[in-house]
């Protein structure tokens, strides 16, 4: 996508802001991430009451990630680029398109369905998701944590035993035999290594500048909290702990605290039995 150059006059008097802005992808869907690269005075970006940091990069540009939540209503929005003091230095329309995520029924036992989070489990993950560290460890493309195909896609509306849960799948499930090594999708720092009731064996990694990932249901761990890891390192091993019906790895990708579709960041193949993502024809 070409760089777009805007020369704006904003504020009292004739204070000019010269900006070069690159937005990708050209068409963004709910559940995806809008990547923002800027040369100029912008320091933050705002879209629909969500504000994200634009981090300084090695080439002198600024870069930030705007997550579009799965439940965001498809519509036209305005992306605003803000200066250090909050002045709007650029504003442009952004269309959020409907990804049309399918539904999926999961058959689980009453015992598994009744599992409750361990004390502090939800709070620990919540605090992790709120963390935005300034150092960037990641680079694209990301790599799948295991080689298996997807048994459950991101964003699907979840039913348990035929009953709607009112929730959606905030990650992906990858097939994997028990004991398969699980690798981080990108370099980062391990922030959580815990055995919990609901998520089972869990490892979370901060990749920096708004990117985080979390891996669930491990049978045992190989990483320690505070450790710096790369894609060649092993975080743990596939298991079926917590709310799980069999060996697999559930993992989620967070952008500035919001679950987003990992398929935008790497190539992932659905297993033949997984529900296919489809596009509805416009009426």
Residues 269/149, Cβ–Cβ less than 8 Å: yes
The residues near 148 (Cβ < 8 Å, ≥ 6 apart) are 174, 175, 176, 180, 248, 249
- CATH class belonging to 103-264: mainly beta
CA distance 22 to 37: 5
CA distance 53 to 255: 12
Phi-psi category of residue 96: left, alpha or beta, with phi > 0 → left and psi -120 to 50 → alpha: beta
Give the DSSP H or E segment for 1.
none
CATH 2.70.70.10 positions along the chain are 103-264
Tokens read off for 260: 């987003």
Tens digits of pLDDT across the chain (283 residues): 333 333 333 332 223 557 899 999 989 999 999 999 999 999 999 999 999 999 999 999 999 999 999 999 999 999 999 999 999 999 999 999 999 998 777 777 878 778 899 999 999 999 999 999 999 999 999 999 999 999 989 998 766 776 666 678 899 999 999 999 999 999 999 999 999 999 999 999 999 999 999 999 999 999 999 999 999 999 999 999 999 989 999 999 999 999 999 999 999 999 987 554 444 333 3
CATH 2.60.40.1930 positions along the chain are 4-97
Residue 42 pairs in a beta bridge with none
Angle at 257 between CA 256 and CA 262, to 5 degrees: 85
Predicted model pTM: 0.88
CATH topology of domain 4-97: Immunoglobulin-like (2.60.40)
Angle at 83 between CA 80 and CA 85, to 5 degrees: 120
Residues 222/216, Cβ–Cβ less than 8 Å: no
**CB-CB neighbours of 98 under 10 Å:** 15
pLDDT tens digits, residue range 228-241? 999 999 999 999 99
């Amino acid at each position: 996508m070409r760089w777009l150059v805007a020369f704006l006059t904003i504020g009292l008097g004739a204070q000019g802001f010269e900006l070069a802005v690159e937005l990708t992808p050209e068409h963004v869907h709910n559940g995806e991430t809008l990547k923002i690269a800027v040369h100029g005075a912008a320091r933050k970006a705002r879209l629909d009451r969500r504000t994200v940091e634009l981090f300084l990069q090695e080439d002198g540009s600024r870069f930030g990630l705007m997550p579009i939540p799965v439940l965001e209503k498809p519509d036209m929005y305005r992306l605003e680029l803000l200066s250090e003091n909050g002045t709007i230095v650029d504003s442009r329309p952004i269309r959020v398109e409907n990804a049309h995520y399918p539904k999926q029924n999961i058959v689980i036992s009453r015992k598994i369905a009744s599992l409750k989070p361990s004390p502090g489990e939800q709070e620990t993950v919540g605090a992790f998701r709120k963390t935005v560290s300034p150092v960037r460890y990641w680079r694209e493309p990301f790599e799948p944590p295991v080689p298996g195909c997807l048994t459950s896609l991101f964003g699907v509306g979840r039913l348990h035993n035929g009953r709607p849960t009112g929730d959606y799948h905030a990650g992906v499930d990858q097939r994997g035999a028990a004991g398969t090594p699980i690798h981080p999708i990108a370099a980062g720092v391990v922030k959580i290594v815990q055995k919990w009731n609901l998520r089972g064996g869990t490892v979370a990694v901060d990749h920096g500048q708004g990117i985080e990932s979390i891996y669930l249901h491990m049978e045992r761990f190989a990483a320690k909290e505070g450790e710096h890891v790369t894609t060649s390192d092993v975080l743990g091993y596939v298991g079926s702990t917590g709310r799980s019906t069999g060996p697999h790895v559930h993992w989620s990708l967070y952008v500035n605290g919001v679950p987003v579709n990992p398929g935008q960041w790497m190539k992932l193949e659905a297993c033949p039995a997984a529900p296919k993502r489809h596009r509805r024809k416009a009426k």
